[in-house]
């Protein structure tokens, strides 16, 4: 300890005498190169500090900041695009829903129209058929009305001819018709 | 001589003797490793700062991670007011870290294993912090020695203790780093010597220890640089914010 104090005294009074490095013990406590170490430490650390603070660290800071801002920008853009696409999706959904509604409406309208047309057509056909059926029935009625007279006429003629052929006598047609009408009346009475 | 575990700490002159007046400022092996560390830091971080790609490559990532690491360390311990001192603390951390790490290379010299180097750094920090404290708070900085909420009877004792602890800061800061470095390197040297002296038969155990110690020392090299920087931040915090 005394030695160190002496060394320190020697250092600070600038009466420094070179002391051999071969003193043993801790070389750290040998003040021979203390000033050299302080001097070079000051120089190297000073240069390091100046260059780092003036040139290198600002660059790294600006790199980091520009990256941060770029990332933030990208995130913002992505967010915007996301909201936009969501909006678009909603619009599309709405359009599709509207289209579905429209299709349904059109379908229903067409259905109604078809049913209406079908009904009209059916009515028309039915009425035509009905009129035709009526006509036919009228015809049948007419025929029914006129048929007994015709039948009786035919019957009279036929009877007269048959009698002529069988007996060879000319029969008075009025007689025959009277008999026939009597027979018809009998048949009708049945 | 090489077997002496303290031999590795010897400082010797490289090149001619340089003198300013009576003061010897010759270039030594210690100076050499200071220069190497400084150059290594400058080269690495210059390369890292040059590239400006959005996705960083390894060296850019290294420098940017170091930047944000130190930046976070400062803002966590000393707050936003310490931002102007970022460059200094960054240089300090990197310088100590690189010196410690270069010391881990066999046959190299550990700059930070010398008390004078660490003491100069610590004294500079101590004086700087004290000046900053008085500039920011004037004589109010002396409140640092009077903690609030202490009974008046205890106050004289506490103030004395606080002053002693404040004044011992540069010593504790410098001795912590210096002693850790010296002890670790000495121990490695001792175990290395055991490997040689025990030879092929018994040398394996100390060899294993040496390997383990190397890993530990690399951890300590980083840790001590970190502790040195973070203590600087804490002292700075006291000077800047003064809430005791």
Q: pLDDT, tens digit, for every residue of B230-243?
A: 999 999 998 998 87
Tokens 């913002």 locate to A76
Interface contact A21-B11, CB threshold 8 A: yes
**For chain A, what is the mean pLDDT?**
84
Q: Report residue B210 CA to chain centroid gap.
A: 24
**For chain B, what is the mean pLDDT?**
91
Question: B85 contacts in A (CB within 8 Å)?
Answer: none
Residue ranges of chain B whose pLDDT lies below 50:
1
Backbone dihedral region of B138: left (phi > 0), alpha (psi from -120 to 50 degrees) or beta? left
Search chain B and give the residue with CA nearest A47.
B38
CA nearest to B121, candidates A5, A37, A10, A7 = A37
Question: B11 contacts in A (CB within 8 Å)?
Answer: 21, 27, 30, 32-33, 36-37
Angle (nearest 5°) at CA B123 between B122 and B125: 65
Predicted TM-score (pTM) of this structure: 0.72
Interface contact A60-B45, CB threshold 8 A: yes
Query: In this structure, what token pair is assigned to residue A92?
Result: 């599309």
Predicted local confidence at residue A24, as pLDDT: 61
Dihedral sign from CA coordinates of B72, B76, B81, B84: negative
Q: Which one has a higher pLDDT value, A9 or A182? A: A182
Q: Report residue A122 CA to chain centroid gap.
A: 39
Tokens 């102007």 locate to B84
Most confident of A20-24, A45-49, A162-166, B5-9: A45-49
Question: A34 contacts in B (CB within 8 Å)?
Answer: 116
Q: How far is CA A115 from CA A101, A125, A128, A129, in A?
A: 21, 15, 19, 20
Helix axes B86-103, B58-77, angle to 10 degrees: 120
Interface contact A49-B113, CB threshold 8 A: no
The pLDDT-based confidence of A189 (bands split at 50, 70, 90) is: low
Predicted local confidence at residue A6, as pLDDT: 56
Predicted local confidence at residue B8, as pLDDT: 85
Q: How many Cβ contacts (< 8 angstroms) between chains A and B?
A: 139
Interface contact B25-A67, CB threshold 8 A: no
Angle (nearest 5°) at CA A88 between A85 and A93: 125
**C-beta of residue A50 within 8 angstroms of C-beta of residue B57:** no
CA-based nearest distance A86→chain B, Å: 29
Predicted local confidence at residue A13, as pLDDT: 45
Predicted local confidence at residue B184, as pLDDT: 93
Question: B87 contacts in A (CB within 8 Å)?
Answer: 49, 52-53, 57
Count of CB atoms within 10 A of residue B133's CB? 21
Q: Does the pLDDT at position A12 exceed 90? A: no
Interface contact B116-A37, CB threshold 8 A: yes
CA-based nearest distance A68→chain B, Å: 9
Q: Does the pLDDT at position A15 exceed 60? A: no
Residues in chain B: 244
Angle (nearest 5°) at CA A33 between A32 and A39: 140
């Amino acid at each position: 300890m005394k030695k160190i104090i002496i060394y320190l005294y020697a250092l600070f009074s600038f009466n420094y005498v070179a002391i051999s490095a071969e003193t043993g013990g801790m070389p750290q406590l040998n003040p021979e190169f203390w000033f050299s170490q302080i001097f070079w430490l000051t120089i190297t650390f000073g240069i390091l500090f100046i260059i780092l603070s003036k040139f290198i660290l600002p660059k790294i800071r600006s790199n980091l900041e520009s990256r941060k801002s770029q990332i933030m920008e990208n995130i913002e853009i992505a967010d915007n695009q996301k909201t936009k696409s969501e909006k678009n999706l909603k619009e599309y959904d709405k359009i599709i829903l509207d289209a579905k509604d429209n299709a349904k409406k059109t379908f229903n309208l067409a259905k109604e129209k078809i049913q209406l047309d079908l009904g009209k057509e059916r009515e028309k056909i039915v009425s035509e058929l009905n009129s035709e059926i009526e006509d036919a029935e009228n015809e049948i009625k007419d025929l029914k009305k006129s048929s007994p007279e015709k039948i009786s006429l035919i019957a009279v003629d036929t009877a007269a001819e048959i009698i002529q052929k069988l007996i060879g006598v000319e029969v008075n047609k009025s007689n025959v018709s009277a008999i026939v009408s009597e027979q018809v009346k009998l048949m009708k009475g049945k | 001589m090489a077997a002496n575990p303290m031999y590795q700490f010897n400082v010797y002159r490289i090149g001619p003797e340089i003198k300013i007046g009576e003061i010897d400022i010759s270039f030594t092996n210690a100076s050499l490793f200071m220069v190497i560390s400084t150059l290594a830091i400058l080269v690495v971080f210059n390369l890292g700062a040059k590239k400006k790609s959005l996705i960083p490559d390894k060296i850019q990532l290294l420098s940017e991670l170091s930047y944000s690491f130190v930046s976070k360390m400062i803002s966590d311990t000393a707050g936003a007011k310490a931002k102007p001192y970022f460059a200094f603390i960054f240089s300090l951390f990197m310088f100590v870290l690189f010196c410690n790490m270069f010391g881990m290379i066999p046959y190299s010299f550990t700059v930070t294993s010398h008390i004078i180097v660490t003491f100069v750094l610590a004294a500079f920090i101590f004086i700087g912090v004290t000046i900053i404290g008085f500039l920011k708070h004037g004589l109010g900085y002396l409140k640092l020695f009077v903690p609030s909420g202490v009974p008046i009877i205890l106050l004289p004792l506490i103030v004395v203790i606080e002053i002693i602890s404040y004044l011992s800061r540069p010593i504790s800061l410098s001795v912590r780093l210096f002693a850790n470095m010296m002890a670790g390197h000495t121990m490695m040297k001792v175990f290395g010597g055991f490997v040689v002296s025990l030879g092929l038969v018994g040398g394996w155990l100390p060899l294993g220890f040496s390997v383990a110690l190397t890993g530990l020392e690399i951890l300590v090299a980083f840790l001590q640089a970190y502790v040195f920087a973070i203590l600087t931040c804490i002292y700075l915090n006291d000077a800047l914010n003064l809430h005791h």
